[in-house]
Amino acid sequence: MSDSREPVAIGSTPLSIDDVVAVARHGAPVLLTEEAALAVKDMRVRMLAGLDADGPPVYGLTTGVGDLYDVSVAPEHVSSAQLKMLKSHACGVGEPYPPEVMRAMILLIVRAMAQGRSGVGLGLVETLVAMLNRGVTPWSPGRGSVGYLIGTAHIGLVTAGLGRAYFEGELLPGAEAMRRAGLPVLELGPREGHALVSGTYEVTAMAALAVHDARLLTAAADIAAAMSLEALRGNDRAFDPRVQQVRPHPGQAATAANLRALLDGSAIVAAHRHHRLQDPLSLRCAPQVHGSVRDALDYAERTVTIEANSVTDNPLFSVAGDELTAHTGGNGHGAPVAMALDVLAIAVTHLLNISERRTDRLTNAHFSELPAFLAAPGGEDSGFMIPQYVAASLAAEARALAQPASVHNIPTSAMQEDHVSMGVPAGWQARQAVEYAQQGLGIEILAAAQGLEHHGTLRPGAGTGAAYRAVRERVAALEEDREMYPDLAAARELVADGSLVAAVEAVVGGLAR
């Protein structure tokens, strides 16, 4: 896989969420630094030298895993047990993970292993990097994980020439995908199976992509709100900096600043400044609601960034002088990221809820002072009647997805793992909530653009005008009923791929995310 993007270096520099997206979604190349390679090699030598059949047991290396932690593995079976572990753990079910999630998992595994605390060989780390760079993407079912183990086990199978993987758009047996990419398969040694499955890479991969997409949604939501405010003859008094200063939540202030920039120079707002004393809450309180989403995403982003740069393996190895210590711990518990994903799902559901309320106002002639359902007069056209139904349906589903997954603990492994994160279910819920919010905001933007058609020669704001033009480049104004589903799909894409935000930022400068 080739890409013109700058390489993402794995070494002493922390990974950012943007780095994860660049590799997972856009194919940016990955470079393992010499410093990282030396750290991996050094710990591997020390760990192998420290293996002693008469020494203390090392979890997952000289013992079984889970409730088999107290069962010793014979020295001659230490290596073969690693592949067996991958085979037994690769038992996902249901729809497959998207390739971008699998690529993000691989990158996060590499980042953790490159810190030299897992005891794996350099060959494994280099193979994972080569799989990313040459486009070998393991296939894995996406359901069945309580927070780890499943997707990463399927990755491990491909390194050993088993499982299945995508290569150049084709789903192949793992060995064939590796052969076509010119990569040798591995004979996994001590620790190398267990280290692949024992971290939080699965849930963190889903979280990094969801945080990135949710960040983009906040700017799109501000654009949608500003367009709706103009279409509904609203005013911008509630966005005055003096209002924000006495309640200084960072997200609220950032949202209000965005809205002021988007509406700057609006002849529509100027003409209706005294049209009503105050607007409904879905318009007037956009800074408070969108801002709360921003603040929630700050927490989620901080948590996911820490996790992406952590070592969540178990055991971990450290060296003091010449003494090697194997630490058994709980860094593999996905609670921090699972809770962040639950918060993210709640946050984007709020964006969708308030957006749907604005869409209803745009289409409801009892409140909008616009044609009923933004349709042509005469009663034979339904206009935007049913897109509002769609937004309502998505909002209802998102509310169900916003119910926290991380609190639904079910013990596993014969009560040895008696509290699990449910991070992957939380990840799926957050991912779906983001997709619903993308579509819901797309519907609002279409309806708002249609509403702006009814303001004659009055000029919209600098930002809202740019947004209107971006919409019209993809979707024509609705003059009479037509098939609407292509318009809704185009509007979602405009939000999801960043085109809407980019078009606006080209005019008003960078918007707070």
SS (H, E, C) 433-447: HHHHHHHHHHHHHHH
Q: Give the C-alpha distances (Å, rounded to integers) separating 433 from 34, 214, 251, 402, 429.
A: 41, 9, 20, 8, 6
Name beta bridge partners: 32.
Answer: 10
Residue 59 designated active-site: yes
**What does DSSP assign to residue 379?**
S
Burial class (CB in 10 A: 0-12, 13-18, 19+), 57: middle
Instruction: Say if residues 120 and 194 touch (Cβ distance below 8 Å).
Output: no
The C-alpha atoms of residue 126 and residue 122 are separated, in whole angstroms, by 6
Candidates 59, 97, 201, 436; catalytic one = 59
Nearest to residue 437, comparing CAs of 308, 311, 290, 233? 290
The C-alpha atoms of residue 108 and residue 85 are separated, in whole angstroms, by 20
Quick one: tokens of 316?
A: 């971990």
Instruction: Say if residues 264 and 464 touch (Cβ distance below 8 Å).
Output: no
Beta-carbon contacts of residue 40 (< 8 Å; ≥ 6 apart): 113, 114, 116, 120, 121, 122, 125
The C-alpha atoms of residue 426 and residue 493 are separated, in whole angstroms, by 24
Q: Which residues are catalytic?
A: 59
